[in-house]
Amino acid sequence: MTQEATTPETSATPTGGRALVVFKIAVPILLLIGLGMWFHSRNRVNTDDAQVDGHLVPISSRVYGSVEKVLVTDNQPVKAGDVLVEVDPKDIQAKLDEAKAALLAAQAQVQMAQAESERAQVACQAAQGSDLAVARANVDAQKAAAEKARMDVQRMKPLAARQEISAQQFDAYRTQADVTDNQYKAAQARLASLDHEAQGRRLAVGAAAARLEAAKAQVAQAQAAVEALRLQKGYTRIIAPVDGVVTRKFVELGQTIQPGQSLMTLIPLHQTWITANFKETQLARMKPGQEAEVEVDMNGMVLKGHVDSIAGSTGSRMSLLPPENAVGNFVKVVQRIPVKIRVDESEMGKVILRPGMNVEVTVFVK
């Protein structure tokens, strides 16, 4: 009986020993795994709230007109300088021809005003030339003759009073004095007339110069109108400003478009970046220049990159309706801050990143 009672205890001992051995082996293994995971993740921050971003280049019309040609389709790659749409230029060409005719007329007016100005200058120089000098000299001569005649009358007057000369001789002296005085006044009037004419010629020169400047201004205005219409004619060929892929094409053949009307959008796929929304608690050691890995959800490919910059505010603050926390029912929520990640140039050729694609980002914050 005693031997049978001890038999179960003896058989249970090996099972408990095996469990203890498994426990002693498993605990260090788990500790090593946990320690390895901690070492692996202690210098990494990760988020799956990340998307591909890129430039969306809107293509719009700068002129009014009817669409004559549409040279691209949706999802078509284009190069910078490729013609996307052509607008019928006939209306603008007619206005351009009219502006060119107005320019020629304005240039003819300039030539006429130039000739008139030259004639006015010649006439002014003639009016201020020899005739005016002769008139001044004549005034001086007549003045001297008049003074001499008056002095002769004064000298002859005592002689006539003593009857040393006859009355007829004295009257001749007085008549000569009156004649020379009148000639002096006539010379003065002639000089004044020539001075007035010269002043008028000078004013005519100024008026002709003003008309010439006005004509030149009209030429400049006409040239500006021609250049503006030439620009508008150039705008009838809508050209791709960058390399990219056509998307959201709204324009159709024969459609009448307005200035500023959106026609399509170009997406330069070679200029994409990653916007990763990290929690604010993950940014303590993050800074621009740190290495990063981008895992693309589409195919699981991992691309190398680096932190380009960190946004100046949280995403919720820059939303259309930012939250208001001035009420009493406040619940603290961990905010997310956008971080711009640039994929390295050597990695860009491995996969095409399209704006809006989901990716997972890991940043090494050593």
Report the pLDDT value the prediction gives residue 2, as an integer from 0 to 100.
43
CATH 3.40.50.720 fits 57-89+244-267, yes or no: no
SS3 318: coil
User: How many Å apart are CA 307 and CA 280, to the nearest integer?
Assistant: 16
Sign of CA dihedral 67, 79, 249, 262: negative
Report the pLDDT value the prediction gives residue 73, as an integer from 0 to 100.
95
Tell me: pLDDT of 4 over 90.
Answer: no
Report the pLDDT value the prediction gives residue 161, as an integer from 0 to 100.
78
What average pLDDT does range 154-164 have in this prediction? 79
> Which DSSP state fits 64?
-
Residues forming CATH 2.40.50.100 domain(s) in the chain = 57-89+244-267
Per residue in 79-124, pLDDT (tens digit) is 999 999 999 999 999 999 999 999 999 999 888 888 888 777 776 6
User: How many Å apart are CA 309 and CA 275, to the nearest integer?
Assistant: 10
Per residue in 143-154, pLDDT (tens digit) is 888 888 888 788
Beta bridge partners, 340, equal: 275, 309
Per residue in 265-309, pLDDT (tens digit) is 999 999 999 999 999 999 989 999 999 999 999 999 999 999 999
User: How many Å apart are CA 264 and CA 72, to the nearest integer?
Assistant: 10
Report the pLDDT value the prediction gives residue 5, as an integer from 0 to 100.
46
Tell me: pLDDT of 339 over 60.
Answer: yes
| CATH code for the part of the protein at 90-235 | 1.10.287.620
- 76 closest CA partner among 84, 88, 68: 84
Tell me: pLDDT of 220 over 90.
Answer: yes
Tell me: pLDDT of 78 over 60.
Answer: yes
- 99 closest CA partner among 194, 222, 198, 200: 222
Instruction: Give the angle 132-136-137 at the CA atoms, nearest 5°.
Output: 115
Residues forming CATH 1.10.287.620 domain(s) in the chain = 90-235
Q: What is the mean pLDDT of the chain?
A: 84
- Give first-to-last CA distance, the chain, whole Å: 71
Q: What is the pTM of this model?
A: 0.64
